[in-house]
Amino acid sequence: MKKLRIAQFVPPFIELPPKKYGGAELIAHYLTEGLVKRGHKVTLFASGDSKTHAKLMSLFPKALYWEGTSWQDPFSPLLHSISCFEKAKEFDIIHNHSHYWGLCFSALVKTKVVTTYHGDFNTALKAKDARAKILKKFKHAPIVSISNSQRKVKGLRLNFIATIYNGIDTAQFQFKEKPGRYLAWMGRITPKKGLLEAIEIAKRTSTPLKIAAKIDKNYQPDVEFYNKQVKPLINRKKIKYIGEIGGYKQKSDFLKNAVALLNPIKWEEPFGLVMVEAMACGTPVIVFDRGSAREVVKHKKTGFVIKTISQAEKAVKDIGKINRSDCRAWAVKMFDKERMIEQYEKLYYNIA
């Protein structure tokens, strides 16, 4: 079968692979490298400090986040988008990971464009800006959902052409049968991720909680949330903040030694990569029943999908009923990167 000319179009804010936080960037990295190994001619549009075996194209030598550029900056992504789509004739397909930028430019080129949207559509539709107008205008553009729950869009029918779960390199995550004695929380410190709820669960169960998390220094609301609401609750004995972590070894060491991962999310999260990383280490997940939770976690098999803090409290007490080997097996079966890459490759051929 003829090999394809593929553009992977990724925002220039975080390098690939991400040094620490960056779920969408990690997925785009796995996909890019996997497609190169399969013989496709891949061009990656990302920040200049990205590491890849694909052809790298970038207007920016360093990831914009590390340069202090806000995610709200509209002009840098605009230039980045032009650099990709002005070369559209060179590709059989453009894979857009840049949400609205790629959707807008897709109407101006004849090359096939498919979008993987790494956020929640309903949040975008409620926003008091142009995001809702863009989604409505380009509702016929082909979109890959990263969970079936992501397809539940209120008041708008989008053109979902496939559901492909995010995948990780499960071989790099170390399994551990007997964990330590703490609960884990990992992610970005922002209200909707449920850190305050995780702290409350840890307090109610008298279980130490370790927090490995990013504070977005370029986003003032998150900085204020940490300083005013989270920081006063931190103490060295029971609630410990260890900072942002990254890389397979750091993540594995943190997750495999946890009794469970707490993920009391307060939004319709479309996937939740941290849950897969935890299960790959054998660590069960306690997650609020929002978004894709029931697709990623098998209730009472690889963790507990619950609705309240009281139910989470009981889940912590029952966590010994979960077989950690089942957690690992589920992650490998459903969420390994090779499965994801193969599904995207088949989709590209169907489209192109």
pLDDT at 203: 97
| pLDDT per residue as tens digits for the range 92-101 | 999 999 989 9
Beta strands in the chain (DSSP E): 5-9, 41-45, 55-57, 93-96, 112-116, 142-145, 159-163, 182-188, 209-214, 239-243, 258-263, 285-288, 303-306
Burial of 61 (0-12, 13-18, 19+ CB in 10 A): exposed
The whole-angstrom distance between residue 38's C-alpha and the CA centroid of its chain comes to 24
Q: Indicate whether 201 pLDDT > 80.
A: yes
Q: How many CB atoms lie within 10 A of CB 268?
A: 19
Inter-axis angle of helices 23-37 and 337-351, nearest 10: 70
What span, in angstroms and rounded, lies between the C-alpha atoms of 54 and 228? 44
Q: What is the pLDDT of residues 205-241, one digit of tens each?
A: 999 999 999 999 889 999 999 999 999 999 878 999 9
Q: How far apart are CA 142 and CA 262, in angstroms?
A: 34
pLDDT tens string 128-182 = 789 999 999 999 999 999 999 999 999 999 999 999 999 999 999 999 999 999 9
Enter the tokens of residue 25.
């960037």
> What pLDDT was estimated at residue 22?
86
Instruction: List the domains of the chain with CATH numbers.
Output: 5-167+336-351 (3.40.50.2000), 170-334 (3.40.50.2000)
Q: Please list, in sequence order, all residues whose beta carbon lies within 8 angstroms of the beta carbon of residue 75, skipping any fewer than 6 positions away.
A: none
pLDDT tens digits along 48-70: 999 999 999 999 999 998 888 87
pLDDT at residue 339, rounded to an integer? 98
In this prediction, what percent of the chain has a pLDDT beyond 90?
89
Q: How far apart are CA 40 and CA 141, in angstroms?
A: 24
Q: Which of 25, 100, 38, 26 is nearest to 343 (CA)?
A: 38
Say if CB 73 and CB 85 are below 8 A apart: no
In the β-sheet with 55-57, what is the strand arrangement from edge to edge? Answer: 55-57, 41-45, 5-9, 93-96, 112-116, 142-145, 159-163
At 236, phi and psi to the nearest 5? -70, -30
Query: What H or E segment, with its residue span, contains residue 296?
Result: helix 293-296
As beta bridge partners, residue 186 has 212
pLDDT greater than 80 at residue 72: no
Exposed, middle or buried, 68 (CB in 10 Å: 0-12/13-18/19+)? exposed
Mean pLDDT of 265-275: 96
Peptide bond before residue 179 is cis, with ω within 30 degrees of 0: no
How large is the average pLDDT for residues 268-278? 97
Residue 309 burial (C-beta neighbours within 10 Å; 0-12, 13-18, 19+)? middle
CA distance 107 to 138: 8
pLDDT at residue 20 in the model: 84
Helix (H, G, I), strand (E, B) or coil at 165: coil
